[in-house]
Amino acid sequence: MQIMNNIKSQRIFEKIMPLCLALFFARTVFIGYKYLFFATFVPCFLYSVYVLFKQGVAIPRLKMLLLPVFVVLLFFAHFSPLSNVVKESVNIAIIVYFVAFSNLYYADDKCDSFLKWIVRLTLFAGIIAISRSVLSMMGFTLQHLSVFFEGERFSLVRDNNFYSLFFIVAIILTARLFLQHKVSSFFVFVCVLISIINIGASVSRRACALYVLLIVALMIIVKKRRCEGVFLYNISILLAFVFCIIGLFVFSGGYSPNMSYEKKTKLYRLYTFIGKSESFQEFDLRQRRKYYVRLSQDVDKSNLFYKGDLKNGLIAWEAQPASSSDNVKFNLVKGEDGEPIIRIERNIWGGSWQIHYKGRPIVYHKDVTYVISFAYRVVKGIRNPFNVGWWVNEGHGYLVDLPQTIESIDSVWNRCSVSYKFKADYINLDCFLNSLHGGAEIEVKDISLTCDDTTGLPMYADQLSDSVIHSFFVKEGADTINYFTAPRTARWRYALELWQTRYTTQQKIFGQGFKYLEWYGEKFYNNPKRYDFPHNPIISSFLYSGIIGGIVYIIFLISSLWLYWKKRKTMGIFFIMYLCCMFFCMFSGSSHFSFPLFAFLSFLPFVEYGKQKNEVPEPAQ
């Protein structure tokens, strides 16, 4: 009876473990899976401990894991941000646990369940994302379910690249299962359709490029397995065409300066994907220039804020919260005399522009004095609970908190004015009201921007040529290289700058820990408390663990690839998944362990190689 109970419990364990493992990785595509993961992980862990101490389990010998373990130790030896230490410690401990017991579920005869769960969980997340997007278009925001949706765009998580990667993996796994006659052709069609909708809507250029490579790979399959592969090939071509149609539909509305930042970003990603060289700011400015040129608006120097009188609503104004948790309420109301008024309130204090001008792009000229003036009343809070100014630094800090001149209009309303004479020429500066105090509520009207120019200088960007606009960005130090890769190469170049200027000889050899996260935040976000990184785990390894750690990490990656290549016939599907994850991590990963699936897959070939090396060959008959 005891033996039967053990067999039964082991079968339950073998069924739950693949789901548990899939949920652990699928948190990357849908944060809601983490709750299901903990529910399945606890019983699996307890049973594993029982098996380990009571029955014994064939865990690979440590000597084959010395190199991976050395990489982990070098990683933790230099860790400094405490919050990241806890997070990464838990992730690595769970990964090591799964690696130790991986022979129970990833062997050829037992891995199908795990792979199928990866596909199912990914497709379910994709359906949720599509449904949420459709409901959002219909006016349903699903605020009560926001705890499950971290992504600010189409994807359900913050990183749309790793989100899209899972759909590439789902297509690959579904193709494998189809070729093994384990799923139907209809399931393949549904999988690819859901995947390309999510990839396209998330606008991950890496995923799009990988999808093209996937089509090429399927063409090769067609030659080798004509009768089986032709269906996959035709489906891929058909859905690639659907993908293009969806893209044309999404972008068919054309550019409008009043469209959401999300849609502008999608347009920019499409723009850079075809090889253009502008930054997002220059791209946006060029498109706005074309838009306003068509309108042929005359210059009104009595108010350079286009549509600043609010008679056309909030067409030229928006709120830019400091973070997703910054609950800013921004809307247009009518005053007692029927005039339009901006009402804004926020729950916490912070930076960013609570009233941000986004209308006709303004040109600011050297030695010309500009004056921002507006009427306001405080509904809740102190007398003037805000800063006013421009986001530009002329050598003495950013001009976001200029001296305010306050005049009383009546017992309720006041007028605030700030002025500044610029020392250089600028274009389309972020400006107006920022850093509204937490708990404050104000109303604003009669917003104006004037200048003392009398020589007829151009006041708007649509009065300038594209070459003049580009000269502003070159003068301000913006890169002129292809912006398909520039956001990454700028961070890679900065790593070299840090290596040359802030690292001593000893630190170059042994590393300096994770201090570079603060330096990156200060460099790219002007905020040392906001961590950033090189977006390449190899470069990160040199920064936190020096030459020793960097070389060991490179050897580790090469060893993983070599072992996978040797076992490609038995671990081919994991090898393909590993290559896809590596492709993404080399452009987005903070460290080797920031993407759990990549870390797990990199350990597997060492486990498999050690297990087979220790197996005793059967005697010859």
Q: How far is CA 554 from CA 260, 335, 539, 547, in A?
A: 42, 65, 10, 11
Percent of the chain with pLDDT over 70: 71
Given the structure tokens 């107006």, which residue do they identify?
A: 432
Signed CA dihedral, 516, 489, 200, 324: sign only: positive
| Reported confidence tier of residue 477, pLDDT bands at 50, 70, 90 | very low
Distance CA 606, CA 212 (A): 31
Give yes or no for residue 480 having a pLDDT over 50.
no
Per DSSP, the residues of 578-614 read: HHHHHHHHHHH-SSTTSSHHHHHHHHHHHHHHHHHHH
Phi then psi dihedrals of residue 418, to 5 deg: -135, 150
- What are the structural domain ranges in the chain? 64-100+485-615, 261-295, 317-459
Which pLDDT value is given to residue 486?
Answer: 47
- Tell me the average pLDDT across 335-350: 79
Mean of pLDDT over the chain: 77
Contact between 440 and 382 under an 8 Å Cβ cutoff? The reply is yes
Of the ranges 84-93, 102-111, 493-502, 510-519, the best mean pLDDT one: 493-502
Of the ranges 4-8, 102-106, 204-208, 506-510, the best mean pLDDT one: 506-510
Domain 317-459 fold is Jelly Rolls (2.60.120)
Strand residues in 428-553 grouped as ranges (E): 431-434, 441-451
More confident of the two residues 508 and 134: 508
First-last CA distance in the chain: 37
**164-168, 385-389, 553-557, 607-611: which range is least confident on average?**
607-611
- Tell me the average pLDDT across 255-274: 68
Taking only the tens place, the pLDDT of each residue in 373-406 is: 999 999 887 777 889 999 888 888 889 899 999 9
Contact between 347 and 438 under an 8 Å Cβ cutoff? The reply is yes
Contact between 40 and 12 under an 8 Å Cβ cutoff? The reply is no
Distance CA 523, CA 492 (A): 13
More confident of the two residues 493 and 408: 408
Taking only the tens place, the pLDDT of each residue in 147-177 is: 566 655 566 777 778 888 899 899 888 888 8
SS3 447: strand
Return all residues near 104 (Cβ < 8 A) that are at least 6 apart.
13, 14, 17, 110
Which pLDDT value is given to residue 416?
Answer: 94
Select from 118, 125, 42 the least CA-distant residue to 597.
Answer: 118
**194-208, 351-365, 501-515, 582-596: which range is least confident on average?**
194-208
Size of the chain in residues: 621
Of the ranges 104-113, 286-295, 607-616, the best mean pLDDT one: 286-295
Give yes or no for residue 1 having a pLDDT over 50.
no
Which pLDDT value is given to residue 4?
Answer: 43
Distance CA 432, CA 447 (A): 9
